[in-house]
């Protein structure tokens, strides 16, 4: 048994679960009161952070453990749940690399977090280039097609 407690919560204007148009969303990650602002000390010296969060509104009855068509789109190939980044995964954990805008007390202002308002944050890790892939990244064509509108501004 693994027990995790959120370290903070997302504050933003996005309240509905949607698959696209995350480009204009800025968020504040507010640490839980059990964490002093020192927990974020010097995070702003990094350009990016990896945010680990919990898909708290993902329907437990829709959890996938095998394969499926991403976004249930039959035009896309059927792939295993661990070969995609959908929310309906066994542990409902999400991860995104965000741009750090600023730190303000126990709040971290970020851009590029694809989590809705009130999403529980499980961890924050600074992005260090030594932890990024050292080889060229490649992915199947369907993944690029799937993501073409993900970071649009919605305008």
CATH code for the domain of 17: 2.40.30.70
Of 3-7, 17-21, 57-61, 75-79, the one with minimum mean pLDDT is 17-21
Asked if residue 67 belongs to a domain, the reply is yes
Residues 111, 132, 84, 140, CA torsion sign: positive
Asked if residue 119 belongs to a domain, the reply is yes
Confidence band for 31, pLDDT divided at 50, 70 and 90? very high
In total, how many domains does the chain have?
A: 1
Q: Are 39 and 106 in contact (CB under 8 A)?
A: yes
E strand segments, the chain: 8-11, 26-31, 48-54, 67-68, 79-80, 93-104, 107-111, 120-126
Asked if residue 47 belongs to a domain, the reply is yes
Asked if residue 3 belongs to a domain, the reply is no
Asked if residue 106 belongs to a domain, the reply is yes
Question: Residue 82: which residues within 8 A CB-CB, separation 6 or more?
Answer: 89
pTM of the model: 0.93
The average pLDDT across 50-57 equals 97
Asked if residue 134 belongs to a domain, the reply is yes
The average pLDDT across 25-36 equals 96
Please tell me the distance from the alpha carbon of residue 79 to that of residue 133, in angstroms, as a whole number. 23
What pLDDT score was predicted for residue 99? 95
Q: Which helix (H) or strand (E) covers residue 144, if one does?
A: helix 141-147
Q: What are the tens digits of pLDDT across the range 60-116? A: 999 999 999 998 899 999 999 999 999 999 999 999 999 999 999 999 999 999 999
Residue 67 backbone dihedrals phi, psi, to 5 degrees:
-125, 160
The average pLDDT across 30-36 equals 97
Asked if residue 1 belongs to a domain, the reply is no
Structural domain boundaries, residue 108? 8-147
């Amino acid at each position: 048994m693994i027990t995790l407690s959120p370290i903070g919560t997302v504050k933003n204007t996005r309240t509905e679960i949607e698959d696209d148009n995350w480009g204009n969303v800025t968020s504040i990650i507010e640490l839980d009161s059990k964490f002093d602002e020192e927990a974020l000390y010097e995070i702003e010296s990094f350009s990016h952070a990896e945010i680990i969060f919990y898909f708290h509104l993902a329907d437990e009855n829709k959890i996938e453990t095998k394969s499926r068509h991403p976004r249930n789109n039959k035009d896309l190939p059927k792939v295993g749940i661990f070969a995609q980044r959908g929310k309906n995964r066994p542990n409902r954990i999400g991860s995104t690399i965000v741009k750090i805008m600023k730190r303000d007390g126990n709040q971290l202002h970020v851009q590029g977090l694809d989590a809705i308002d009130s999403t529980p944050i499980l961890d924050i890790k600074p992005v260090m280039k030594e932890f990024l892939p050292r080889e060229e990244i490649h992915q199947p064509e369907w993944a690029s097609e799937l993501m073409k509108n993900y970071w649009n501004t919605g305008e």
